[in-house]
Amino acid sequence: MRQTTSLSAEDAAIAAGFERFYELLRRLTPRSELSLTAASTLHRLDRGGPRRLCELHAPEGVSQPAMTQLVTRLEKEGLARRGSDPEDGRAVVVTITDAGREAVARRREGRTRALAALLEQLPAEEHAALVAALPALDRLSGLLAS
């Protein structure tokens, strides 16, 4: 692991590349009934399992009252449900429903189809380079999750 005291041109180029790719993914994601925060929250619940309501707001960059409103909306739409925390009955635990999982899957499939159309336009070597980078990208994502 390398030590970083100042930003290198390479790190800045990687950050800029990620920003461009993030914008690409946002543009490729089909417009749906879900806001970006709602979709991200459902994805987090799908991937990580039930979470206390108080654990959801910070990773999404919203206030706890805003997350409470979002979860209320997701619950009304049948995409998530609330329950009591078995360890602390005063706390609220949010769980994704089957309908929520389907919404996440539809969104992912639409984005994947749109991205696949672009990937077909890349030369085989560049496509292979993207595939080879996936383990490093997963490790990088995991560093923030820790």
138: three-class secondary structure by DSSP: helix
Higher pLDDT, 55 or 96: 96
Give the C-alpha separation, 94 to 67, whole Å.
11
| Per-residue pLDDT tens digits for 50-93 | 999 889 998 888 999 999 999 999 999 999 999 988 887 788 89
pLDDT of residue 118: 95
| The model's pTM | 0.79
Q: Please give the mean pLDDT across all residues of the chain.
A: 90
Q: What is the pLDDT of residue 145?
A: 64
- The pLDDT of residue 80: 97
Distances (CA, A) of 23 to 18, 34, 38, 88: 9, 17, 18, 40
User: Nearest Cα to 77, choosing from 90, 96, 58?
Assistant: 96
Q: Does domain 31-145 bear CATH number 3.60.20.10?
A: no
Classify each residue of 86-111 as buried b or exposed e, where b means 16 or more C-beta atoms within 10 Å of its C-beta.
eeeeeebbbebbeebeebbeebeeeb
The encoded tokens of residue 129 equal: 């380079």
AA identity, residue 58: A
